[in-house]
Amino acid sequence: MQKNYKVYLGFAQAPDSEIDEFTSGVIDGLTGNAAFPTPPVTPADLGALQDAFRLKIAAALDGGKTATAEKNAAREALLDGLHKDAMYAQTLARHDLAMLLSSGFEAASTNRARSPLPKPAIQAVVNEISGKLLLRGESLLNAHSYQAQMMAANNGNVWVDAGDFTGARRMVIEPVTPGTTYSLRYRGVGGSTGHSEWSDPVSHMAT
C-alpha cells in the first residue's frame, strides 16, 4: 500500500521573518520545477505577495494600529497563496516524498508512531548577498522546524546559534563577516527524541 504524504502547514504559525524566508524557499522550489507545471499561485505571483508583505512589515515597524492591521492583512494574503500551492503540491506528490519536498514545502508525518529523526545532510552553502550565507539542507519527514549553528574560523571552535527556520531548503545565516570562513551545521526539530543529530559541518568563506 502506498504512503500518502501531506504538506506540513505549520508554517502559518511562524514569525513574520520566517514566513518571508519560507516563501523564498517555495518560490525557489516551484520555479522551473517540471513536477509542478501549473501552481494555482505562480512563483511570480507569490513573489508579488511576498514583496507586499515585506513593505507592510517595514511600515509597521513605526507602530500604529492601521499599519499593523495592513501588515497582518498582507500576511494573510501571502499565507493564502502558500496554502493553495501547498494543496496543489500535496495532490500531485502525495505518493512521492522526494517530489513533494522539491516544491519547497515540508512534509508532515501520517504515522502516529513517533520515531527519531534521521541525521540531515547539507546540500549547499552559497553566498546570498554580502553579509549573508544561504544554507540549503535536505528536509526531514516529521521535522517541524530546523536549527542552524555557525562557527567562525577565528572563534576558538565555539558553535553559536544561527537561527530557527521553518524549512530546510533555504536558511539564511546572518550576519557574517566578508572574508571570514564559517563552518555551518543544522538539525531537525521533532521526532521522538526532540531533535536529530547535527549534520556534518560544511565550511564556506563569506563574501
As a whole number, mean pLDDT of residues 3-9 equals 89
Q: Is residue 160 located within the same domain as residue 126?
A: yes
Q: Are residues 65 and 148 in the same domain?
A: no
CA-based nearest residue to 135, from 194, 89, 191, 199: 199
Same domain, 101 and 128: no
Residue 110, pLDDT > 80, answer no
104, 128: one domain: no
Regarding whether 98 and 132 lie in a shared domain, the answer is no
Q: What's the domain range around 10? A: 6-108
Residue 63 inside a domain? The answer is: yes
- Segment 111-149, tens digit of pLDDT: 555 688 999 999 999 998 899 999 999 988 888 889 999
Task: Grade residue 205 by pLDDT with cuts at 50, 70 and 90.
Answer: very high
pTM for this structure?
Answer: 0.76
pLDDT at 107: 87
* Confidence tier at 27 by pLDDT (50, 70, 90): very high
Pairing status of strand 6-7 against strand 133-137: unpaired
Residue 98 sits in the same domain as residue 161:
no
Residue where a domain terminates, one of 108, 143, 172: 108
Residue 194 falls inside a structural domain: yes
- Residue-wise pLDDT for 188-197, tens only, equals 998 889 899 9
Residue ending a domain, among 108, 135, 163, is: 108
pLDDT score recorded for residue 157: 85
Q: What is the mean pLDDT of residues 176-182?
A: 95
Question: Are 67 and 138 part of one and the same domain?
Answer: no
Instruction: Give me the residues paired with residue 172 across strands.
Output: 134
The pLDDT assigned to 64 comes to: 83
Overall domain count for the chain: 2
Say if 32 falls within a structural domain.
Answer: yes
3-state SS record for the chain: CCCCCEECCHHHHCCHHHHHHHHHHHHHHHCCCCCCCCCCCCHHHHHHHHHHHHHHHHHHCCCCHHHHHHHHHHHHHHHHHHHHHHHHHHHHCCCCHHHHHHCCCCEECCCCCCCCCCCCCEEEEEECCCCCEEEEECCCCCEEEEEEEEEECCCCCCCEEEEEECCCCCEEECCCCCCCEEEEEEEEEECCCCECCCCCCEEEECC
Other C-beta atoms lying within 10 Å of the C-beta of residue 10: 12
Residue 1 in any domain: the answer is no
For residues 101 and 149, membership in a common domain is answered with no
CA angle 12, 16, 17 (to 5 degrees): 120
Residue 117 in domain: no
Q: Are residues 143 and 101 in the same domain?
A: no
- Tell me, yes or no, whether 114 lies in a domain: no
Q: How high is the pLDDT of residue 144?
A: 85
Average pLDDT over all residues of the chain: 92
pLDDT for residue 154 is more than 70: yes
Residues 126 and 92 grouped into a single domain: no
Burial of 89 (0-12, 13-18, 19+ CB in 10 A): buried
